[in-house]
Amino acid sequence: NAGVTQTPKFQVLKTGQSMTLQCAQDMNHNSMYWYRQDPGMGLRLIYYSASEGTTDKGEVPNGYNVSRLNKREFSLRLESAAPSQTSVYFCASTGGAQAGTDTQYFGPGTRLTVL
């Protein structure tokens, strides 16, 4: 039981390049989330998916797209990376009926630098 896994762990991009951050969970959870964490800003929600086939915007969705490929996997895509997207990205999942109040399990993070 690996919990929530994220790939890659580190990535350096040049401005304008694209990439996809991968997330998978093996806990049979319904809801999955993508956050970014920046100094002094805390965790900010980018997108979330309440169930397979559904996605919704969070607080800071601009510049990102997501795909809920199946129940296990939730990917985050940067189509044209910008230096402002330099951050640590966390994926999380939760499985209860009250998704907002149940424990969110976080992955180890992806550290992204955009030059």
Partner 1 sequence: QKEVEQDPGPLSVPEGAIVSLNCTYSNSAFQYFMWYRQYSRKGPELLMYTYSSGNKEDGRFTAQVDKSSKYISLFIRDSQPSDSATYLCAMVSFGNEKLTFGTGTRLTIIP
Tell me the closest approach of the beta carbon of residue 82 to partner 1, in angstroms.
23
Q: Is the dihedral of CA 81, 85, 89, 94 positive or negative?
A: negative
Q: Is 41 in the site for partner 1 (CB under 8 A)?
A: yes
Question: How many residues at the interface with partner 1, by CB under 8 A?
Answer: 24
Cβ contact 19:77 at 8 Å: yes
Cβ contact 93:33 at 8 Å: yes
Instruction: Give the Cα separation of 65 and 89 in Å (integer).
Output: 14
Q: Is 58 in the site for partner 1 (CB under 8 A)?
A: yes
Which CB atom, from 28 or from 100, has the smaller least distance to partner 1? 100
**Burial, 35: exposed, middle or buried (Cβ in 10 Å; 0-12, 13-18, 19+)?**
buried
Q: Is 31 in the site for partner 1 (CB under 8 A)?
A: yes
Query: Site map for partner 1, 83-112, x if CB under 8 A?
Result: -------x-x-----xxxx-xxxxxxx---
Which span (19-27, 38-46, 64-72, 74-82) binds partner 1, by CB under 8 A?
38-46
Residue 83: CB atoms within 10 A of its CB come to 11
Task: Point out which residues bind partner 1 (CB under 8 A).
Answer: 4, 31, 40-45, 48, 50, 58, 90, 92, 98-101, 103-109
